[in-house]
Amino acid sequence: MAKFLVDECLHTSLVELAHAAGHAADHVTYLALGGAKDWQLMDTILERDYTFVTNNRLDFLALYNRTPVHAGLVIIVPNVTPLRQRELFQAALDHIGKGEILNAVLEVEYHGERIECREYPLPTE
């Protein structure tokens, strides 16, 4: 079971989806971290062993690439409406199942009408 932290750039309803799938989840705003710098969020993410969910791809890929051990990163690509965010995050939850994505990134995006999940290790060797 994963423990997710959803970024402030994504809708709070993603927390409910994670709970419905049997995972623990928080939203950045629920933890009074709204407006925190990315590196400040990383401190909380690592201290509390969160799998972070964001659409801030470039910044967090760089931060995670410098982190030798982490609970994973889910990237919802691109910035879409809350309804689409929920569809993409549900696909991520289905991909992860009851497991986790230790030291990996899971990118979730639409390709036409189809949702694609792409998982790869990070940091790179």
Mean pLDDT in consecutive groups of 10 residues from the start of the chain, 125 residues: 95 97 96 95 97 96 95 94 97 94 96 94 84
Please report whether residue 121 resides in a domain. Answer: no
Domain count of the chain? 1
Q: Which residues contact 85 (CB under 8 A, 6 or more apart)?
A: 10, 11, 13, 14, 76
Model pTM score: 0.96
pLDDT at 125: 63
pLDDT reported for residue 88: 98
The whole-number pLDDT of residue 98 equals 86
Quick count: other Cβ atoms within 10 Å of Cβ 95? Answer: 17
In-domain check, residue 44? yes
Contact (CB, 8 A) for 105 and 70:
no
Q: What is the pLDDT of residue 28?
A: 98
List the domain range (segments joined by +) for residue 60. 3-104
- Is residue 124 included in any domain, yes or no? no
Is 123 a domain residue? no
Q: Which stretches of the chain are assigned E, i.e. beta strand? A: 3-6, 24-27, 51-54, 73-77, 104-111, 114-121
